[in-house]
Amino acid sequence: MRNVQSQPRAGWRSRWAALGAAVAVSLGGGGFFVANAAVTDPASSFVPVDPVRVVDSRDGTGVAGPLASLADQDVQVTGTVNTTDGMQEVVPAGANGVVLNVTAIRPTAGGFISVRPGGSTGTAATSSVNFEQGAIVANSVTVAVPTSGTDAGEISLRFDAFGVSGPTTDVTVDIVGYTTSATLTALQAGQLSVSAGGDTTMNIETSGTVVQTVELLAPAAGEVLVSSHTSIYNNDNVNQQSANCAITIDGARGNVLQQVTIPAFRAGSISGIRAFAVTEGQSLTIELLCAKSSASNTEIMQAFDAALTAHFVAS
């Protein structure tokens, strides 16, 4: 099923803060990890965690009950929070983003769930999970988390049954990782990550457009896991259009991660993961490449809110 979103607007919140200048961190035994992001936003790193369920509307974990259309529910995700396994800290206070698996369960009407930073209100500009009535649909979501103010450490869940109030849906939310501006040494031993992302919106071409770049120097032999997410908007006000994205390693294009067909004046999201082996000292340029499928000059496809994360695991 394709993911469908509302028309984007200016000033998108960044899903991933990016690493700016090169960062070198001792791994022990004389090894170093060096990473460069293509943009110069404040430093941030990704920390993977074993999945923990922090929301299950069926038993009241995290939320009072099913999500009601057009009503927002804020959920605390940092610090000690309620989970299906009891109270525990999954994401430390001060984390500036979380990576989630969000599942809509048997909604009473078709629509979408938008996951936004805590305190968000009003009509959702994007969808995180798209579904039809009675379906069970999951999607990976990365969202910024406020680090100060009354909404610090919270995310906001909003079900929208395409503007109709009254319908409900059950929902589960599993945390699988988080981003932090703390030093990279806070990551698990032997695992380091670099991410890039931002608010830049760019037109994509039939031949492909690089929408995000990460450079990596492997400190030892191991494996690199590369995950990506981007949203693509179809500016054609009449026809549906298709687009796809792929992750490239040193210019060699891999298999297309996903292709979406997007209705006129709508947006869709594309996510995916690639894994590949690296040798000690290997230097890599990893890029997220997106392309429109039609060479027609009558439509413009735009990529926005793109994120690319490379995660090194020593062998």
Q: Are 224 and 196 contained in the same domain?
A: yes
Of the spans 168-172, 233-237, 256-260, which averages the highest pLDDT?
Answer: 168-172
Residue range 195-225, pLDDT digits in tens: 777 667 899 999 899 999 888 888 778 888 8
Q: Cα separation of 49 and 99, whole Å?
A: 10
In a domain, 1, yes or no: no
Q: Cα separation of 270 and 303, whole Å?
A: 10
In a domain, 6, yes or no: no
Closest by CA position to 34, among listed 185, 194, 191: 194
| pLDDT number for residue 181 | 67
Provide mean pLDDT across the span 235-256. Answer: 86
Provide mean pLDDT across the span 289-306. Answer: 83
- Give the confidence band of 42 by pLDDT, cuts at 50, 70, 90: very low
In a domain, 18, yes or no: no
Q: Cα separation of 59 and 37, whole Å?
A: 42
Total number of domains constituting the chain: 2
In a domain, 70, yes or no: yes
In a domain, 75, yes or no: yes
Q: Are 226 and 239 contained in the same domain?
A: yes
In a domain, 33, yes or no: yes
**Alpha-carbon 127 to chain mean position:** 12
Residue range 137-177, pLDDT digits in tens: 999 898 989 988 899 999 999 999 999 999 999 999 999 98
Residue range 63-119, pLDDT digits in tens: 999 999 999 999 999 999 999 999 999 998 888 889 999 999 999 999 999 999 999
**Alpha-carbon 21 to chain mean position:** 23
In this structure, how many other beta carbons lie within 10 angstroms of the beta carbon of residue 212? 29
Range of the domain at 261: 23-44+182-314
Pairing of strands 111-117, 129-131: antiparallel
Of the two residues 130 and 255, the one the predictor is more confident about is 130
- Give the confidence band of 296 by pLDDT, cuts at 50, 70, 90: low
The last residue of a domain, from among 145, 180, 215: 180
In this structure, how many other beta carbons lie within 10 angstroms of the beta carbon of residue 131? 25
User: 159 near 169, Cβ under 8 Å?
Assistant: yes
Q: Are 173 and 65 contained in the same domain?
A: yes
In a domain, 95, yes or no: yes
| pLDDT number for residue 151 | 92
Q: Are 116 and 264 contained in the same domain?
A: no
Q: Cα separation of 5 and 242, whole Å?
A: 14
Q: Is the pLDDT of residue 34 over 50?
A: no
Residues 6+ apart with CB under 8 A from 30: none
User: 229 near 140, Cβ under 8 Å?
Assistant: yes
CATH code of 296's domain: 2.60.120.1340
The per-residue pLDDT of the chain, averaged, comes to 79
| pLDDT number for residue 217 | 81
Full-model pTM = 0.52
| pLDDT number for residue 101 | 94
Of the two residues 186 and 18, the one the predictor is more confident about is 186
Q: Is 130 helix (H, G, I), strand (E, B) or coil?
A: strand
Q: Are 269 and 194 contained in the same domain?
A: yes
| pLDDT number for residue 77 | 96
CATH code of 69's domain: 2.60.120
- Give the confidence band of 10 by pLDDT, cuts at 50, 70, 90: very low
